[in-house]
Amino acid sequence: MAEKILQIRNLRVTFDTPFGQVFAVRGVDLDVEESELLGVVGESGSGKSVTFLAAIGLLSSRARVTGSVVLQGEELIGKSPQQMRSVRGRLMSMIFQDPLSALNPVHRVGKQIVEMLQSHQNLTSKQAATRAVELLDLVGIPQPEQRSSQYPHEFSGGMRQRVVIAIAIANNPKLLIADEPTTALDVTVQAQILEVIKRVQQQIGTAVVLITHDLGVIARVADRVDVMYAGRNIEQGSIESLYDHPSHPYTRGLLASIPQPGKDRLTPIRGFPPNMMAPPSGCAFRTRCEFAEPTCEVDIPELRIFNDLQTACLRAQELPNFRVRQ
């Protein structure tokens, strides 16, 4: 069994707002194994981004975080901001949807990579500059030497995201968290960026967590998937098993609502996502679930192994078989 890079246990994140508490993450359990690509999928408000923002220590002081996040044997929850700063960029990095806001507009991109290198490693300016060019080359930027002395505005959207990836992997982190990295990009550019991420994972051996709402993106690149709903993970497993025989009614619902060639009528999930200020008792999906019964209102289902998946559904074993494909 591969070594676990990241272990998240019973992670909870609550935000205090003027209107009350928002229970954004409500007990997430999740492992990331060495050099795997884990896809985390969920709809807006499911807590997928907040889970990893909490793990990397980027939430505001308004957020109350409890539980445990262990990165390579080291507990991260409770670390001071200074301690977290030495973790970020060295052991674990995160990239986001909008590459332009992640880059400093008044510095050349080469300098921004050098800054990242020198804040964690003892490198001379010359060594760091050479390494910066190598990194730009690795993420597929043509003429990396010339490009490293250009400013972010001189790059296109896809090229900027490549620069951001270069910065994130500069110190060979063990884990790269990519939060909707291709959502702002056109599909043909998305395909390029996904290839870069896959290459980073395979060549450098960095484990990648890819957070997305797009099940197609996950199907293309991920090894394992974690499905989130209303602040909890409700199903996990290998990509083959999860798409082939999903157990959880929500995962099934998601797959059934995607338009696919040859599919005549889509099956939407009824209702809409719950208000996270007052999530439903018991299983949060029960209000939209066609299989819900009274016990679902009481017990919060835990992840249990069933049919080579981990599924958080009380009725997983009783549900009829599911076929996605015709």
Partner 1 sequence: MSDELLRVTNLVKNFEVRRTKNSRSKKRAVQAVTNVSFSINKGQTLGLVGESGSGKTTVGRCVLRLIEQTSGQVYFDGKDLGSMKYEELRALRRKMQIVFQDPFASLDPKMTVGSSIAEPLIVQGVPGDHNDKVFELLELVGLSVDHASRFPHEFSGGQRQRIGIARALALNPALIILDEPVSALDVSIQAGILNLFEDLQKKLGISYLLIAHDLSVVRHVADRIAVMYLGKIVEIGDQETVFEHPTHPYTRALLSAVPLTDPKAERSRTRVTLEGEVPSPMNPPSGCRFRTRCWKAQDICAQQEPVLELRATGQMSACHFPES
Which CB sits closer to partner 1, 111 or 232?
A: 232
CB of 259 to partner 1, least distance (A): 4
Which CB sits closer to partner 1, 129 or 218?
A: 218
Which CB sits closer to partner 1, 254 or 312?
A: 254
d(CA 95, CA 112): 14
Which CB sits closer to partner 1, 67 or 157?
A: 157
CB of 130 to partner 1, least distance (A): 26
Contact (Cβ atoms closer than 8 angstroms) between residue 169 and residue 116: no
CB of 194 to partner 1, least distance (A): 8
d(CA 178, CA 176): 6
Which CB sits closer to partner 1, 10 or 257?
A: 257
Q: Are strands 232-238 and 304-306 parallel, antiparallel or unpaired?
A: unpaired
Give residue for tokens 């395909």.
Answer: 191
Strands across the sheet with 63-71, in order?
20-33, 4-17, 63-71, 74-75
Residue type, 190: Q
- Give the footprint of partner 1 on this chain (CB under 8 A): 43-44, 156-159, 186-192, 195, 213-217, 219-220, 239-240, 243, 253-261, 263, 265-269, 272-273, 324-325
Give the three-class secondary structure for 104: coil
For the chain, where are the E strands, in sequence order? Answer: 4-17, 20-33, 37-41, 63-71, 74-75, 92-95, 175-179, 207-212, 224-229, 232-238, 304-306, 309-311
CB of 159 to partner 1, least distance (A): 8
CB of 76 to partner 1, least distance (A): 30
Which CB sits closer to partner 1, 171 or 192?
A: 192
